[in-house]
Amino acid sequence: MSFENPNLSLSAHVASLNARFENTDTVEMLREIILDPSFGELALVSSFGADSVVLLDMVAKINRALPVIFMDTEMLFHQTLTYQRKLAKDLGLEDVRRIQPSREAVLERDFDNLMHRYDTNACCALRKTEPLKRALAGFGGWISGRKRYQGGARTSMDLFELDAEQRIKINPLAHWSRDDLADYIATHKLPRHPLAAKGFKSIGCAPCTTPVGTVEDERAGRWRGQGKTECGIHFGEVARTVIVTDDGFANDDWVDDFHTFDALPTVETGTLAVDLKGDFPAKNLLQWIDKIDMIRVDFPVFSDGRGFSLACQLRLLGYVGRLRAKGHIVADQYAMARRSGFDEVEIDQALARRQPEPFWQARAKWQANDYQNHLRKAPSQAERPF
Ligand code: SF4
């Protein structure tokens, strides 16, 4: 069974879980979701870092056989590897899955293990995001140990969220403070990561982690001085998009590449998609109008309405394929997008979190289908404006 309640959209289901568990004790909440089969198969994702022992201890006391995914990036401190083995043994964890990056991918993209020096995003994708995605395939949801007090994008996270794969992510410690963690560790006499005593308050890969001062943020030692705060496994820095339609949010089902207009293939290659800027002259697309299956129009800034005009012109030219708006477009503009001839709007995960599904659905009700259907009716040659 999956997390999804068939009577609710995923976003609404997540909202209902947040309301249901808002005031529930953390251990009770964990027990309920781990032992209730209707929540689907769950995994705990743990770095075996500075405070990981708290969640690992809670989970071990509920179900020692729960899969624990440990991401070994092959760049970790040797102390982390030693601590991981000791902790798994002490807590009696029965199913720790140590996942590593693909050997072929490392040889191809980071054969000298130095990628972290010049492209930390690509390195995190190779060594964290991609292996985790593979490891989580088949799970209904996963548990993470992030806390709001850690700052940045974590400040506003909920107990339950949707990840980039539209899988439910549970953050049982979201509301915990640093003192709460320290109290739990002391009360239960749990062993700390050996580097915690040396000023490491957040512990990741060795090349990208330094100790922090007493007045610094907990995660200030991660990718110090680089302006990077997350590895990408939590906030979809590996770009993931949501499609907004009249029926609500949906996964992006478009799998083919988008071409720029200048790079449209000269021979027919099957499905054809093109990316256009809002100021693109519609008439330049005339010879392609019957061949293109998807046009994606980019809105460069919120106040730039040229994308709407382009959509209207494309429909008037007789374009009947799929038409998508992307970029700086928000829920308030959905009705306008639909009236202009767009079928859907592409937004990223961050915007979907800030403007959840009900916002967009409310806007969808204002759609002017008649006008749009009129635009979509292919005109005769004589009716075409160009
Ligand atoms: S934290 Fe550093 S070493 Fe680890 S995967 Fe990311 S960039 Fe690479």
Do residues 167 and 136 lie in contact, with contact meaning Cβ atoms separated by under 8 Å? yes
Top mutation candidate among 102, 109, 112, 120 for ligand 1, by most atoms within 8 Å of CB: 120
Domain count along the chain: 2
Sign of CA dihedral 348, 349, 353, 354: negative
Site of tokens 């969808």: 364
pLDDT at 237: 36
Q: What is the mean pLDDT of residues 176-193?
A: 95
From the candidates 123, 205, 208, 231, which is the catalytic residue?
231
368, pLDDT greater than 70 = no
| pLDDT tens digits along 230-274 | 665 554 433 456 788 887 887 777 767 788 888 887 766 678 899
Specify the higher pLDDT residue, 237 or 175.
175
Domain enclosing residue 94, as ranges: 10-208
Q: Which contiguous run of DSSP H or E holds residue 382?
A: none
State the CB neighbour count (10 A cutoff) for residue 349: 19
Q: Give me ligand 1 centre to Cα 327, in Å.
A: 29
- 279 and 330 co-located in one domain: yes
> Please, which residues have CB within 8 angstroms of residue 214's CB and are 6 or more apart in sequence?
none
**Phi, psi at 230, each rounded to 5°:** -135, 150
- Decide if 231 is catalytic: yes
State the CB neighbour count (10 A cutoff) for residue 32: 14
> Please, which residues have CB within 8 angstroms of residue 35's CB and are 6 or more apart in sequence?
62, 63
- 96 and 199 co-located in one domain: yes
* Residue 229 resides in a domain: no
Does any ligand 1 atom lie closer than 6 A to the CB of residue 318? no
60, pLDDT greater than 50 = yes
**Chain-centre distance for alpha carbon 185:** 31
| pLDDT tens digits along 38-51 | 888 999 999 999 99
pLDDT at 233: 56
5, pLDDT greater than 60 = no
Q: What is the CATH number of the domain that holds 187?
A: 3.40.50.620
pLDDT at 236: 42
Does any ligand 1 atom lie closer than 6 A to the CB of residue 207? yes
Does any ligand 1 atom lie closer than 6 A to the CB of residue 326? no
- What span, in angstroms and rounded, lies between the C-alpha atoms of 260 and 296? 10
Min mean pLDDT across 2-11, 57-66, 121-130 is at: 2-11
Nearest CA to ligand 1 atom 4: 205
* Residue 168 resides in a domain: yes
